[in-house]
Amino acid sequence: MEYMFIHPVIGLMPMLLAQLEDSADSVASAGTSAITLLFYAIAYVFFSFCTWKIFQKCGTENAWFAWIPVLSLYALFKTVGDEKAVLWTVLSIIPCVGIVSAVMSIVAWVKVFQKLDKSPWLLLLCLTGIGTFFVFGYVAFA
Protein backbone atom coordinates (compact mmCIF):
# COMPACT_ATOMS: atom_id res chain seq x y z
CA MET A 1 0.00 0.00 0.00
CA GLU A 2 2.91 2.38 -0.47
CA TYR A 3 1.16 3.86 -3.54
CA MET A 4 -1.62 5.07 -1.21
CA PHE A 5 0.51 8.07 -0.31
CA ILE A 6 1.23 9.03 -3.92
CA HIS A 7 -2.31 10.13 -4.61
CA PRO A 8 -5.44 9.18 -2.68
CA VAL A 9 -7.41 8.35 -5.83
CA ILE A 10 -4.70 6.01 -7.12
CA GLY A 11 -4.74 4.23 -3.78
CA LEU A 12 -8.49 3.75 -4.00
CA MET A 13 -8.54 2.57 -7.62
CA PRO A 14 -8.35 -1.18 -6.87
CA MET A 15 -11.32 -0.90 -4.52
CA LEU A 16 -13.30 1.25 -6.94
CA LEU A 17 -12.64 -1.02 -9.89
CA ALA A 18 -13.61 -4.09 -7.90
CA GLN A 19 -17.10 -2.64 -7.53
CA LEU A 20 -17.75 -2.50 -11.27
CA GLU A 21 -20.06 -5.02 -12.83
CA ASP A 22 -20.13 -5.74 -16.50
CA SER A 23 -23.70 -6.86 -16.87
CA ALA A 24 -26.65 -6.10 -19.08
CA ASP A 25 -28.40 -4.37 -16.16
CA SER A 26 -25.70 -1.75 -15.81
CA VAL A 27 -25.71 -1.11 -19.57
CA ALA A 28 -29.49 -0.74 -19.59
CA SER A 29 -29.31 1.57 -16.59
CA ALA A 30 -26.71 3.73 -18.34
CA GLY A 31 -28.88 3.89 -21.46
CA THR A 32 -31.93 4.88 -19.45
CA SER A 33 -29.94 7.56 -17.66
CA ALA A 34 -28.66 8.94 -20.96
CA ILE A 35 -32.18 9.11 -22.43
CA THR A 36 -33.49 10.80 -19.28
CA LEU A 37 -30.65 13.33 -19.36
CA LEU A 38 -31.36 14.05 -23.03
CA PHE A 39 -35.07 14.60 -22.29
CA TYR A 40 -34.26 17.03 -19.47
CA ALA A 41 -31.78 18.92 -21.66
CA ILE A 42 -34.37 19.29 -24.44
CA ALA A 43 -37.03 20.38 -21.94
CA TYR A 44 -34.66 22.96 -20.42
CA VAL A 45 -33.83 24.45 -23.82
CA PHE A 46 -37.52 24.52 -24.80
CA PHE A 47 -38.70 26.21 -21.59
CA SER A 48 -35.80 28.66 -21.56
CA PHE A 49 -36.50 29.62 -25.17
CA CYS A 50 -40.23 30.04 -24.50
CA THR A 51 -39.56 32.09 -21.36
CA TRP A 52 -37.10 34.23 -23.30
CA LYS A 53 -39.75 34.89 -25.98
CA ILE A 54 -42.35 35.70 -23.31
CA PHE A 55 -39.96 38.15 -21.62
CA GLN A 56 -39.27 39.78 -25.00
CA LYS A 57 -43.00 40.18 -25.64
CA CYS A 58 -43.39 41.84 -22.23
CA GLY A 59 -40.51 44.20 -22.93
CA THR A 60 -38.23 42.88 -20.21
CA GLU A 61 -34.88 44.67 -20.25
CA ASN A 62 -32.69 41.58 -19.87
CA ALA A 63 -34.78 38.87 -21.51
CA TRP A 64 -31.70 36.67 -21.90
CA PHE A 65 -31.85 36.06 -18.12
CA ALA A 66 -34.38 33.36 -19.03
CA TRP A 67 -31.49 31.05 -19.91
CA ILE A 68 -29.94 31.20 -16.41
CA PRO A 69 -32.06 29.42 -13.77
CA VAL A 70 -31.90 31.83 -10.82
CA LEU A 71 -31.78 34.95 -12.99
CA SER A 72 -34.87 33.70 -14.80
CA LEU A 73 -36.86 34.02 -11.61
CA TYR A 74 -35.41 37.50 -11.04
CA ALA A 75 -36.39 38.53 -14.58
CA LEU A 76 -39.90 37.16 -14.00
CA PHE A 77 -40.38 39.40 -10.97
CA LYS A 78 -38.88 42.39 -12.82
CA THR A 79 -41.22 41.76 -15.76
CA VAL A 80 -44.28 42.31 -13.57
CA GLY A 81 -42.67 45.32 -11.87
CA ASP A 82 -42.22 43.73 -8.46
CA GLU A 83 -40.08 45.97 -6.25
CA LYS A 84 -38.91 43.01 -4.15
CA ALA A 85 -37.50 41.00 -7.06
CA VAL A 86 -34.14 40.47 -5.37
CA LEU A 87 -35.78 39.37 -2.12
CA TRP A 88 -38.04 36.80 -3.80
CA THR A 89 -35.13 35.48 -5.84
CA VAL A 90 -32.91 35.05 -2.78
CA LEU A 91 -35.75 33.45 -0.81
CA SER A 92 -36.26 30.90 -3.58
CA ILE A 93 -32.82 29.45 -2.85
CA ILE A 94 -33.43 28.94 0.88
CA PRO A 95 -35.02 25.53 1.54
CA CYS A 96 -38.23 25.85 3.61
CA VAL A 97 -38.70 29.57 2.99
CA GLY A 98 -38.66 29.03 -0.78
CA ILE A 99 -42.34 28.06 -0.71
CA VAL A 100 -43.21 31.74 -0.21
CA SER A 101 -41.17 32.62 -3.29
CA ALA A 102 -42.88 29.81 -5.21
CA VAL A 103 -46.30 31.27 -4.41
CA MET A 104 -45.10 34.72 -5.44
CA SER A 105 -43.75 33.34 -8.72
CA ILE A 106 -47.18 31.84 -9.48
CA VAL A 107 -48.72 35.25 -8.83
CA ALA A 108 -46.09 36.79 -11.13
CA TRP A 109 -46.90 34.30 -13.92
CA VAL A 110 -50.60 35.19 -13.58
CA LYS A 111 -49.66 38.87 -14.04
CA VAL A 112 -47.50 38.02 -17.07
CA PHE A 113 -50.37 36.10 -18.67
CA GLN A 114 -52.72 39.02 -18.03
CA LYS A 115 -50.15 41.42 -19.49
CA LEU A 116 -50.10 39.32 -22.68
CA ASP A 117 -53.92 39.07 -22.79
CA LYS A 118 -53.86 35.33 -22.14
CA SER A 119 -56.12 33.59 -19.67
CA PRO A 120 -54.38 32.94 -16.35
CA TRP A 121 -56.48 29.76 -16.11
CA LEU A 122 -54.06 28.27 -18.63
CA LEU A 123 -51.62 27.96 -15.75
CA LEU A 124 -53.77 25.14 -14.38
CA LEU A 125 -52.66 23.04 -17.35
CA CYS A 126 -49.14 23.35 -15.99
CA LEU A 127 -50.19 21.01 -13.19
CA THR A 128 -50.12 18.21 -15.73
CA GLY A 129 -46.76 17.16 -17.07
CA ILE A 130 -47.32 17.55 -20.79
CA GLY A 131 -49.64 20.56 -20.43
CA THR A 132 -46.73 22.78 -19.49
CA PHE A 133 -45.18 22.30 -22.92
CA PHE A 134 -48.38 23.39 -24.64
CA VAL A 135 -49.03 26.36 -22.36
CA PHE A 136 -45.56 27.86 -22.64
CA GLY A 137 -45.42 27.17 -26.38
CA TYR A 138 -48.82 28.80 -26.89
CA VAL A 139 -48.02 31.89 -24.83
CA ALA A 140 -44.57 32.32 -26.39
CA PHE A 141 -45.57 31.93 -30.03
CA ALA A 142 -49.25 32.95 -30.25
Residue 8: inside a domain: no
Residue 6: inside a domain: no
Residue 56: inside a domain: yes
Spatial contact of 58 and 116, defined as CB atoms under 8 Å apart: yes
Residue 70: inside a domain: yes
Residue 34 structural domain: 23-141
**How many structural domains are present in the chain?**
1
Residue 3: inside a domain: no
pTM comes to 0.76
Q: What single-letter amino acid sits at 124? A: L
Q: How far, in Å, CA of 132 to CA of 121, rounded?
A: 12
Question: pLDDT, tens digit, for every residue of 98-132?
Answer: 899 889 999 999 999 999 999 999 999 988 878 88
